[in-house]
Structure 1
C-alpha cells in the first residue's frame, strides 16, 4: 500500500486514492465536495486535550508524538483497528489533515503507526 499525507487545503487529486480525514474537527473553510473525503476517521485523531498540547507555544513534537502514540494504543485502539481494516485493499491511501506544519503533526505520527500495522 502506498500511504501518503496531504493538507486538506491542497487540491484533491485522483492520484490520492482513498482519502481519509484524520482530524477531529472538519477543516475550516473547506467544503465536503472540495475535500473529497472517503472516510472521516475522527476517532483516531488526537483528543481535545492532546490537540491543545500540539498547538501550545513551545510544544515539543517528540513529547506530543509519544502522548499521541499512547492514546492510539489505549483509548483509540478500537478506532485504530477499525481504520486499519478500512484501509486494507486500497492500493493508495492519503491521510488528510489541516495543520500548516507538514513535518511535525499528528498525521506524521499516525502514518508511522499505520505503516507498522499494515506491513
Structure 2
C-alpha cells in the first residue's frame, strides 16, 4: 500500500516536472518570437528612414531649403527609435533570464521532492 502511494507521488512529481519543462519551452519560444518581431520592426524602420533620406535628397536637388533641418530631425528620430528598440530588447532578455531562473529553481525543487520519496 505504501509502495503504491509512493509510486503515485513520484508520478505526480513527474507530471509537474514535465509541465514545468513545457512552460520553459513555451517561454523560450515566446522570447524568440518577440526578439524576431523587434528585429523585423527595427529593419522596417531603418528601411523607412532610408526612404525618407532619399526623398529629402531628391527634394534638395529641387531647391528645398528646409532639407538639411528635416534630415537631421529624421536622423535623430531614427536614433531614438533604435535606442528604444534596443532597450526593449534588453528588458525582454532580462525578464526572460529572471523567469527562466525562477522556473529552473521550481523544477529543481520538484526533482528534489521526487527524489525524497522512498522506493520501499
Same topology, TM > 0.5: no
Q: TM-score, normalised by structure 2?
A: 0.24
State the structure with more CA Rg.
2
Q: TM-score, normalised by structure 1?
A: 0.24
Structure 1 or 2: more helix by fraction: 2
